[in-house]
Structure 1
Amino acid sequence: MKRMSGRRYLPGEVRQFNTLLEMLHQTADTYGSHLAYMYRRDPGAHVHYRTYGEFIEEIECLATGLIQMGLSDKHIGLLSENSYEWAVIYFAVANGVGVIAPFDAKLPSIEIGNLLNYSDVEAIFFSPKQLPKVVEAAKNSDIKYFICIDTMKSKNKKLKIPDDKRFIRYSDIRQRGATALAGGDDSFKQKEIDVDAPAALIFTSGTTSMAKGVMLSMRNLCANVMSATGSIEAFPGERVLSVLPLHHTFETTAGMLTPLYYGCCICVNDGLRHLAANLMEWSINILIAVPLLIENIYKRVDKGINESGKRNMINLMRPLARTMRSVGVNANRRLFRSVLDGLGGALRMIVVGAAATDQEVIETFSDFGVEFYQGYGLTEHSPIIAVTTKSNNVVGSVGPPLDKVELMIDDPVSYGDPTGEILVRSDSVMIGYYKDPEATAEVITDTGWLRTGDLGYLDESGSLHITGRSKSMIVLTNGKKAFPEEIEMYLNMIPGVVDSIVWGERNARDAVDICAQLQIRPSELPIPDKSDEDIGTYLESYIQFINKKMPRFKMIKQFVFTDEEMSRTTTMKVRRHIESEVIRNKLEAAGMTVRQANGMNINRLQKRD
């Protein structure tokens, strides 16, 4: 059993605050006239700007209006794409009105309806794009108010709100609050906040099971921001591109709250199709992302290098730049200025979470002069647990624990192996799961340790290495254990493979075979003939190569492939339980085992009699 306590890796003292609104006021006291937000209503349209002072003013107007409506201490839902208003609503509700419950805007109507009922919301904010889902949910709902964020409306589209007194407009509430404030109403400003009561109700993505409602307190949220500032540094005025969905705590904390602590300007992405244009146009300094997003940017950069004819020159310059940096001469950004200009010219830092990133991608961006950090977290920990730092950036790790965060590796999986379940303890650990004390008791020990369900180990530098999920761990009949994530990392390096999923399958001898499904992108396969047979042969050759690197018990015995998108969360993780069911159903429909389908396109299996 190995334990470690995190520390600050950056100089200076962290600002102390008890609420996120207090943090925001601290920032505004110094940078009140600085931009807090830049955003558009439509790609290519006029850019709107909001200073820190204007941001706080709108929060106070909206919060006062909500209190006037009798929504104090109530659960309030939020169903919207990323926007400036999303941040205003989050701050207003969580900092004194009630409990904010953000939902995944990509969920279907039936799931939205279920979550609305389960979360006990009495009002819900929704964007114009979500109107059809909300209208459907309103048919059988006791919710008092359905609040349309009408200010998000596209200028080119009419907004028709149902003729139902429960449906009201965001702008009307904001104006009601502004009028009350002007008349001396200070109910929001004077309201005392219990920092240990629920402030946010976050529903997990459910990659291995059904989503759970995570209750986070104001103390949890503030503690995680303060701890994060000991590892990752940003500067006033730097521009951060908001790309990942804000209903995920990784984007909330890393992409919104922490930048606002530093006085950064958050630029709301126009959509994934416009990512490259936004990087260029707004000269973005910091990008918070997931591996798949960064790998797509990497492919675009790599393609540009090939088309420029500078491949050989850059290949020669990269080792030179690395050597110069090792002796204290950091000329990377000057040497690779032409490459960085293709990313807007100002990109200084990339922070990636949610899954492991291909090491070649990390090394390439680092060689070009972009600081690249890999983080690890859990919704139940508000969410950040560990992140690599400038002084502790061990290859393959997710870095040391944050300041004031304790880590412990429990229950090694086998004798002599340092790998075990990761436990974490800090002020960022959730209150518990909503309406589920039994599930809470299963993951939070009597001494306050949160069982993450992830497996990993701490190296000599104090850096954490993630090896997999305990729930997805494959236990072989000889007692040995294999981690799908480790094998998937190698499969995802195959040219033309987008992603993969690995599982254990019992064979006719009752032994467990390691099997895989590879999601391919045919246009990126480096083979002339794209027939299923040739693709299977191509993948088989790579899998044989990978197997030679593996211990015998980790070797892939059977595989299938697909050119269809696998089921994912909004942070682009494959939903294992759903995708496993899809694979099983396809095999059963064809009357085949995975052994019989080995090397085939799973979408074109011929039914056996």
Structure 2
Amino acid sequence: MKKKNVDKYWYTDIREITTLKDMLAGSVGLYGKNPAFWIKQKKGAPYEPVDYELLQHDINALGTALVKMGMSGKKIAVMGQGCYEWIVTYLAVVNGTGIIVPVDKELSGPEIRNLLLAADCDTIFCTAKECAKLQGIAEIRNLIVMEFYGDRTSPDTPPVTGIRDAAEYRALVPDAAVYTWRDLVAGGEELLNNGDIGFLEKEVDPDALAVILFTSGTTGNPKGVMLCHRNITANIMDVCRIAQIPETDKTLSILPIHHTYECTLGMLLVLYRGASTAFCEGFKYITKNMKEAQNTVIIVVPRVLEMIYGRIEKAVRDGGREKAFRSLMKVNRGLRSVGINVSRRIFRQVIDQMGGKLRLVITGAAALSPNIYRAFEDFGITVLQGYGMTECTPLVSGTPMSAPAERYRKAGSVGVTVSRGETRVINQDEDGIGEILFRGPNVMMGYYNMPEETAESIDADGWLHTGDLGFIDGDGWIYLTGRSKNIIVTKTGENVYPEEIEEYINKSPYIADSMVFPYQNEGEESVGVQILPEMDAVTEALGHEPDRKELQTFMKKQIRELNQGLAVYKRIRDVFVREEDFVRTTTQKIRRQDNQLKEE
């Protein structure tokens, strides 16, 4: 059942917290003058620090302004690019104002409206770049415009008032009151100076609703995951038992900030430990920002690591150093196997391409190829994999940093169950694969206004039915094999797990990504695949850029060869080559329901 002999892995320097207000006060007391965030005054400028004391000051000022506006107990949405103003808003709302509703900035206007209605929310904070999506949403009563650049870095400097005039946004939501974030902070600061301490004295109930987070599905009736402070703080402490993050660490925030993975692990946990976060300017600036920020930690999805590793491989290939690179990898693995670790010295040039100080990668939200996992470990960079879901705030399990590195910390596993959680597997098949259930203090309160859906997900004993399939080995390590709803059942009754096949075929240098799915072939359900080709590699192999017909022939040939490594019932019978990328979630997972083949 759950964990077996894994207590030996846990770090014990844990500061007990029950609310995010406690967490912030404790961190300010311990690390007040340390940088909490790194921001840019303008595009292309260097990163400058915002310390913990200024962070708390701005949270208090914004919270005071919101309470004065009558927002106590209200649901308040926040949407946009990850930035200092976003996280200050989040903490100002949950630490004494009301309930925060993070919204995905990639959604369309109708989808955003759908979520606001579902959450009973009429106030939204939004970064300027995304405000156009709010046009025509008549239900919005208050719009607060945020900025990515230009935050102050000293408490002696008056808060910068709105860079843009709020009036230009009134045409988007004509029935709403429109403010700039900085004007609200300035107003709150004035109230504090005049003795208004109502927000400061607010008591926070650790078990009351604090956050409504919507899962990826936003059509129809969206599911709003309800979280309280205790859910979040329990998970923060449990993750810190798995991964050692000292106050000297610096992260680069890359992933969408509305997602619980980035918000809990990439923001709140970092603040709990007294470390700091720099904000990435956008996906295409990742490598540039890593060099500027010189971050020691990144929290990413596998696709980001695949992109970085792809660039490393290309540089090696273009330099004609493939043979030497493979030899170095082999020598280094031999040294590591006998306890000699000089990886960072051997691969100094590789690490320099990632800023020069990267020591730890935390990855989750999708499966990471064991080959890429081992490669980063060979470079001297620790890789920890996690498994979780929004309903668990998010972490269910993770690779303990203290596990033996010379064995690659069981590459392919998503680690062991968090300290205060339990996992078990039900309805196991002959291979021990079944549905994973989880129980712990980080499990959600339920779905907002959806008692029936809540009861379907959480049973009477508190076990969350994850819908994920996998098994747990004798040491308590979890291995995932797929989603129960994605299983393909062949005519002979065999179960085919699409994720297993995707991981296998994605190792091909000619395949950038793939989606395996059930395909009706002559009245029978067979295994089909959509392929996104790695065009540079295909062009290099053929000696020219292929037309559509030649590309289709080439990819079918690759699949025929790869099929030889699969059991007969798992072999792919139908191949479809994509010209455009898959529709993805903001954490870069393929949205299977939105990538179905259209009938011609």
Q: Among 328, 332, 336, which residue is 2:347 paired with?
A: 336
Residues 254 and 282 of structure 2 are in contact (CA less than 8 Å); yes or no, is this contact kept in structure 1? yes
Residues 9-408 of structure 1: pairs in structure 2 closer than 5 A: 9-40=9-40, 42-45=42-45, 47-137=47-137, 140-141=138-139, 143-149=140-146, 152=149, 160-162=168-170, 166-206=177-217, 211-392=222-403, 393-408=409-424
**What CA distance in whole angstroms lies between the structure 2 residues aligned with 1:372 and 1:214?**
29
Q: 1:324 to 1:283 in 2, by over 3 A?
A: same
Q: 1:132 to 1:209 in 2, by over 3 A?
A: closer
Partner amino acid for 2:260?
T
CA RMSD of aligned residues (A): 2.1
**What CA distance in whole angstroms lies between the structure 1 residues aligned with 2:23 and 2:337?**
38
Give the drift of 1:195: 1.4
Q: Which residue of 1 aligns with 2:156?
A: none
Q: Which residue of 1 aligns with 2:485?
A: 471
C-alpha offsets along residues 270-307 of structure 1, whole Å, 9 cap, x if unaligned? 11111111111211110111111110110111122234
Give the drift of 1:207: 9.4
- TM-score for both structures, normalised by structure 2: 0.92
Q: Please give the secondary structure, in 1, of the residue aligned with 2:122.
A: strand
**What CA distance in whole angstroms lies between the structure 2 residues aligned with 1:150 and 1:239?**
22
Residues 374 and 411 of structure 2 are in contact (CA less than 8 Å); yes or no, is this contact kept in structure 1? no
C-alpha offsets along residues 427-474 of structure 1, whole Å, 9 cap, x if unaligned? 000001111111100000100000001001001221111100011111
Q: 1:436 to 1:286 in 2, by over 3 A?
A: same
Give the drift of 1:324: 2.1
Q: Please give the secondary structure, in 2, of the residue aligned with 1:4.
A: coil
Q: Which residue of 2 aligns with 1:524?
A: 537
Give the drift of 1:533: 2.8
Residues 566 and 574 of structure 1 are in contact (CA less than 8 Å); yes or no, is this contact kept in structure 2? yes
Q: 1:10 to 1:358 in 2, by over 3 A?
A: same
C-alpha offsets along residues 18-61 of structure 1, whole Å, 9 cap, x if unaligned? 11121122122121111011122543135342001111111111
**What CA distance in whole angstroms lies between the structure 1 residues aligned with 2:234 and 2:476?**
21
Give the drift of 1:158: 7.0
Give the drift of 1:523: 2.8
Q: 1:402 to 1:444 in 2, by over 3 A?
A: same
**What CA distance in whole angstroms lies between the structure 2 residues aligned with 1:385 and 1:429?**
9
- TM-score for both structures, normalised by structure 1: 0.91
C-alpha offsets along residues 48-103 of structure 1, whole Å, 9 cap, x if unaligned? 42001111111111111111111001100001110011110111111221110010
- What is the number of residues matched between the two proteins? 577
Q: 1:156 to 1:67 in 2, by over 3 A?
A: closer
Asked if residue 428 in structure 1 is aligned to residue 442 in structure 2, the reply is yes
**What CA distance in whole angstroms lies between the structure 2 residues aligned with 1:244 and 1:527?**
36
**What CA distance in whole angstroms lies between the structure 2 residues aligned with 1:109 and 1:208?**
12
**What CA distance in whole angstroms lies between the structure 1 residues aligned with 2:385 and 2:190?**
46
Most deviating of 546-555 and 222-231 = 546-555
Asked if residue 456 in structure 1 is aligned to residue 453 in structure 2, the reply is no
Most deviating of 33-42 and 226-235 = 33-42
**What CA distance in whole angstroms lies between the structure 2 residues aligned with 1:372 and 1:237?**
19
**What CA distance in whole angstroms lies between the structure 2 residues aligned with 1:432 and 1:575?**
24
Most deviating of 183-192 and 37-46 = 37-46
Q: Among 574, 589, 600, which residue is 1:558 paired with?
A: 574
Partner amino acid for 2:548?
D
Give the drift of 1:319: 2.2
Give the drift of 1:211: 4.0
Q: 1:256 to 1:368 in 2, by over 3 A?
A: same
Give the drift of 1:505: 2.3
Give the drift of 1:168: 1.6
Give the drift of 1:177: 1.7
C-alpha offsets along residues 156-213 of structure 1, whole Å, 9 cap, x if unaligned? 9776232756112212221222122222222122212221111111011129997411
Partner amino acid for 1:523?
D
Q: Please give the secondary structure, in 2, of the residue aligned with 1:177.
A: helix
C-alpha offsets along residues 232-283 of structure 1, whole Å, 9 cap, x if unaligned? 1111121100000011101111211111111111000011111111111211
**What CA distance in whole angstroms lies between the structure 2 residues aligned with 1:250 and 1:263?**
19
Partner amino acid for 1:473?
I
**What CA distance in whole angstroms lies between the structure 2 residues aligned with 1:151 and 1:324?**
46
Residues 86 and 146 of structure 2 are in contact (CA less than 8 Å); yes or no, is this contact kept in structure 1? no
Q: Please give the secondary structure, in 1, of the residue aligned with 2:169.
A: coil
Q: Which residue of 2 aligns with 1:447?
A: 461
Residues 509 and 534 of structure 2 are in contact (CA less than 8 Å); yes or no, is this contact kept in structure 1? no
Q: 1:511 to 1:452 in 2, by over 3 A?
A: same
Residues 146 and 167 of structure 1 are in contact (CA less than 8 Å); yes or no, is this contact kept in structure 2? yes
**What CA distance in whole angstroms lies between the structure 2 residues aligned with 1:499 and 1:156?**
41
Q: Which residue of 1 aligns with 2:154?
A: none
Give the drift of 1:10: 3.5
Residues 251 and 266 of structure 2 are in contact (CA less than 8 Å); yes or no, is this contact kept in structure 1? yes
Q: 1:564 to 1:480 in 2, by over 3 A?
A: same
Partner amino acid for 1:490?
Y
Residues 207 and 576 of structure 1 are in contact (CA less than 8 Å); yes or no, is this contact kept in structure 2? no
Asked if residue 545 in structure 1 is aligned to residue 558 in structure 2, the reply is no
Identity of aligned residues (%): 35
**What CA distance in whole angstroms lies between the structure 2 residues aligned with 1:169 and 1:161?**
10
Moved over 6 A (4+): 153-159, 207-210
Give the drift of 1:553: 1.2
Residues 497-536 of structure 1: pairs in structure 2 closer than 5 A: 497-508=511-522, 510-525=523-538, 526-529=541-544, 530-536=546-552
Q: 1:8 to 1:379 in 2, by over 3 A?
A: farther
**What CA distance in whole angstroms lies between the structure 1 residues aligned with 2:290 and 2:10?**
27
